[in-house]
Chains A and B, each alone.
Chain A
Amino acid sequence: MFKRFLAVLIARNYEFFRDRAALGWNLIFPVLLVVGFAFIFSGDGKTLYKIGVLSDISQTSNNHKLMELKHIEFVSYDEKSIAMNKLRQHKIDLLVDFNGETYWVNQSSNSGYIAEQLLLASSPNFQRMAIEGKEIRYLDWVVPGILGMNMMFSCLFGVGYVIVRYRKNSVLKRLHATPLRPIEFLTAQVCSRLLIVMTLSTGIFIGCNWIFDFYILGSLIDLFIIALLGTVSLISLGLLIAARSESEEFTGGMLNVASWPMMMLSGVWFSLEGSPEFIQTLAQFIPLTHMLEAARAVMLDGASLWQVKSHIIALLIMTATFLMSGSLLFRWQGQAR
């Protein structure tokens, strides 16, 4: 069995890596996106300073002079740990406890320095607490989305289209007339695409990280495991979509039906926080959502695999469902001879 699986795996890898155009595009497209976003969002477009306030703002010293300044946004936090994390990641410029007459500033933040001077002008006796922490740029937030989107297209179209093409031109029919079993063929397709996607995505991530120095708080191994689980899930979805059809047009349409909602609703480009409830619920049925949320939690918040277990379980359930349905529906040949 392993011999047959390995033969198909090797053949599929040869097929992909020798297709220079496909390989080139798979490498260049995500790099172009990352570089593009790095330049587009390299400037700080903020016009406001954002200051965190511990406890409810309305109950805090409303008559504090700092609160009367224009162009400053005040955000209240109930939990100090959350507020400190935001400060560490430069999401707020200063954190102030008006009742305790204490403030925290991130020493590596330029905006933090200005906000501190504004506070001290009105409250020179507040106690200063300094912390360190690297800024999270939009690029750091969006990079899992860009890579995830590229992986999604590679998995769905790379598997779905290829299998439909095999079926349409009778490659599958020829393989069917051998002792090769569907499970051996399908497993080889999954593993081949997994190998390709993970190799390319890891390479792109390492290369871009070397250039842009991404904000990575969590474990890279955890990040890799999440990417691996997400990729298997997306490949399984591609297999399911291509399980029966021999029409490239129909399959293309189905793949678009799957990929566009994923691109819009999975939080590739923007966070779904604040979006309508039903959109957020719908997003939970999409594998890419779980992959991106888990990856961002590990990368930006330093979460462990255990802390993102709900996403991991969702990915595993989706993978099993897609694979089982795909195997049951799988057909070697179409109607054409």
Chain B
Amino acid sequence: MAEILEVLDLKRYFSKNKAVDGVSFKVKKGICFGLLGPNGAGKTTTIEMLEGIVEPTSGNILYQGKAIDKQIYHELGIQFQHTALQDHLTVIETLKMFSAFYDKTLPIKDLISLCQLDDFINQDHRKLSGGQKQRLLLALALINDPQLVFLDEPTTGLDPHSRRLFWDLVNKIKSQGKTILLTTHYMDEAEYLCDEIAIMDKGKIIALDRPEVLLQQHFSGALIKLPKQNIDTHENKENVSEQLNIQFVQQSAQVQSLDIQATLVALIEQGVSLEGLQVKSANLDDLFLKLTGHGLEGVNHV
């Protein structure tokens, strides 16, 4: 599969702050590529450099093998994390205005139908709910029938139902053969939507591959989780931790297990309280915690 986007050693420094510090990756055509990380990881700065909005300090960005210029906006679809539209315009008027900016556009009625905006087309866009507004912004991003669509934290602040609706829309777009570059700090969103992910922390990419490959690389078997205090209060804390290979991540104690029954027996034999025990498969949240040693601070999980 050919690459649509190639990013080489991209850096963006704001005086002493290294917002993006040497990021490189390639995005194949037709996939959903996720840039993951907590707030302040450098995701938005990276995506805005790819969109041509922010000037990189150094590095190269190649779109279909060529350096980006103003013409690229004819082929890109962009949904910013924070944006506003002109006041007092209805949904249909906003769509028509953006449609006039491009040489080649999708029929507006198709977009309205795709993004489920039929019921609000004559409504002032300022009166739309959060989910409806995000769908309008997605429609604007798709109006020029782009090959590459940038979605910067599109579901932040949405309720679970609106998020689900939005995910279905993204999957529909992907099924049309479009490439999507998505940033999110919701690991469940990335797991659901992304074919490949890059996990960012402090301006750098710390993991890059398909989600399942990354999980296989870093976790074997199931993950048994206990509240950290169950171990902390044990009289032989150090011995128990060493014998069972317990890892402490934030407020939980974790054991990777290929044989759940045997691990549980071992915990009981050691006299560890099983109160609050969870057995689950490792997910991207666990991967992020393992790789960075810290959680997604300041992020409100839905």
Instruction: Report whether chain A binds chain B.
Output: yes
**Contact residues of A with B, CB < 8 Å?**
3-4, 6-8, 10-12, 14-15, 18-19, 166, 169-171, 173-174, 176-181, 333, 337
B59-114 interface (Cβ within 8 A of A): 70-71, 73-74, 76, 78, 80-89, 93-94, 96-103
Q: How many Å lie between the Cα of A19 and that of B126 in the bound state?
A: 13
B44 and A337 contact, CB distance less than 8 A: yes
The answer on a CB contact under 8 Å between B86 and A4 is no
Do residues A179 and B70 form an inter-chain contact, with CB atoms below 8 A? yes
| Nearest Cβ on chain A to B99's Cβ, whole angstroms | 8
Q: Is the CB of A177 within 8 A of B76?
A: yes
Closest to B90 in A: A14
Enumerate chain B residues within 8 angstroms of A7, measured Cβ to Cβ.
96-101
**CB <8 Å contact, B53 and A171:** no
Q: Are A178 and B102 in contact (CB under 8 A)?
A: yes
User: Which of A6, A166, A169 meets B100, CB within 8 Å?
Assistant: A6
Supply 7 further A-B pairs (C-beta < 8 A) apart from A11-B86, A171-B84, A174-B80.
A7-B98, A10-B97, A18-B88, A173-B80, A174-B78, A178-B101, A337-B82
Most chain A CB neighbours (cut-off 10 Å) among B44, B71, B85: B85
Residue of B nearest to A12 (CB): B86
Query: Are B87 and A19 in touch, CB under 8 angstroms?
Result: yes
Contact residues in B for A337 (Cβ distance below 8 Å):
44, 81-82
**Interface of B, helix, strand, loop or mixed by DSSP:** loop
Residues from chain A with Cβ under 8 Å of B103 in the complex = 179
Residue interface bits B203-239, CB-to-A below 8 A is 1, else 0: 0000000000000000000000000000000000000
1/0 per residue B42-64: CB within 8 Å of A?
Answer: 00100000011100000000000
Residues of B within 8 A of A10 (CB): 97
A-B contact list, 16 entries, CB within 8 Å: A4-B100, A4-B101, A6-B100, A8-B97, A10-B97, A11-B86, A14-B93, A15-B87, A170-B83, A170-B84, A173-B80, A174-B85, A174-B140, A176-B53, A181-B70, A333-B53
Q: Which residue of A lies closest to B14 (CB)?
A: A335
Q: A12-B86, A15-B87, A173-B53 are in contact. Are A179 and B80 (CB under 8 A)?
A: no
B residues less than 8 Å from A178 (CB atoms): 73, 98, 101-102
Q: Could you say which residues of chain B place their CB within 8 Å of the CB of A179?
A: 70-71, 73-74, 101-103
A179, B75: Cα distance in complex, Å: 10
- The CA-CA distance from A12 to B102 in the complex, in Å, is 19
Closest to B74 in A: A179
Contact A14 B89 (CB under 8 A): yes
Interface residues on B, range: 20 to 34
Contact with A along B177-211 (1 / 0, CB 8 A): 00000000000000000000000000000000000
Report how far A6 CA is from B76 CA in the complex, Å. Answer: 22
Q: Contact: B88 with A174, CB < 8 Å?
A: no
Report whether A177 and B80 are in contact in the complex, using a CB–CB cutoff of 8 Å.
yes
Check A169–B88 contact: CB distance below 8 A. no
Which residues from B are CB-within-8-Å of A12? 86
Interface SS of chain A: helix, strand, loop or mixed?
Answer: helix
> Bound complex: CA of A205 vs CA of B97, how far in Å?
33
* A residues in contact with B51, CB < 8 Å: 177
The answer for the CA separation of A179 and B100 in the assembled complex, in Å, is: 10
Cα(A204)–Cα(B53), bound, Å: 43
Contact partners of A3 in chain B: CB under 8 A = 100
- Closest residue on chain B to residue A176 by CB atoms: B53
Known: A7-B97, A179-B73. A173 touches B102 (CB 8 A): no
| Alpha-carbon gap, A11 to B81, bound state (A) | 23
Looking at the assembled complex, report how far the CB atom of A218 sits from the nearest CB atom of chain B, in whole angstroms.
Answer: 39
Q: Please determine whether B73 and A177 come into contact, CB atoms closer than 8 angstroms.
A: yes
Query: Are A170 and B80 in contact, CB atoms less than 8 angstroms apart?
Result: yes
CA distance A173 to B82 in the complex (A): 10
- Does A14 contact B88, Cβ atoms closer than 8 Å? yes
Question: Which chain B residues lie closer than 8 Å to A176 at the CB level?
Answer: 53
A171 B86 Cβ-Cβ under 8 A: yes
In whole angstroms, what is the CA distance A136 to B86 when docked? Answer: 46
Instruction: Decide: A11 and B102 in contact? CB cutoff 8 A.
Output: no
Contact between chains at B73 and A170 (CB < 8 Å):
no
- Are B53 and A177 interface neighbours, CB within 8 A? yes
Give CA–CA (A179, B96) in the complex, Å.
15
Report the Cα distance A166→B88, complex, angstroms.
13
Residues of A within 8 A of B88 (CB): 14-15, 18-19
Q: Say how far B124's CB is from chain A's closest CB, in angstroms.
A: 9
Residues of B near A174 (CB, < 8 A) are: 78, 80, 83-85, 140
* Residues of chain B with a CB closer than 8 A to A166's CB: 86
Tell me, in angstroms, the Cα distance from A110 to B88 when the chains sit together.
Answer: 55
Residues of A within 8 A of B140 (CB): 174
A180–B101 CB distance below 8 A: yes
The 9 closest A-B CB pairs, nearest first, are A7-B100, A18-B88, A169-B84, A178-B101, A177-B78, A7-B97, A15-B88, A174-B83, A179-B73
- Minimum Cβ distance to chain B for residue A217 (Å): 42
**Closest chain A CB from B191 CB (angstroms):** 26
B152: shortest Cβ distance to chain A, in Å? 9
Q: Tell me, in angstroms, the Cα distance from A177 to B54 when the chains sit together.
A: 11
B97 CB to closest chain A CB, in angstroms?
Answer: 5
Closest to B48 in A: A337
Assembly CA distance A6 to B97 (angstroms): 9
Chain A contacts of B89 at CB under 8 A? 11, 14-15
Complex Cα–Cα for A174 and B133 (A): 14
Q: Name the residue in B53, B82, B86 with the highest tally of chain A Cβ atoms < 10 Å from its Cβ.
A: B86
Q: CA–CA, A12 to B97, complex, Å?
A: 11
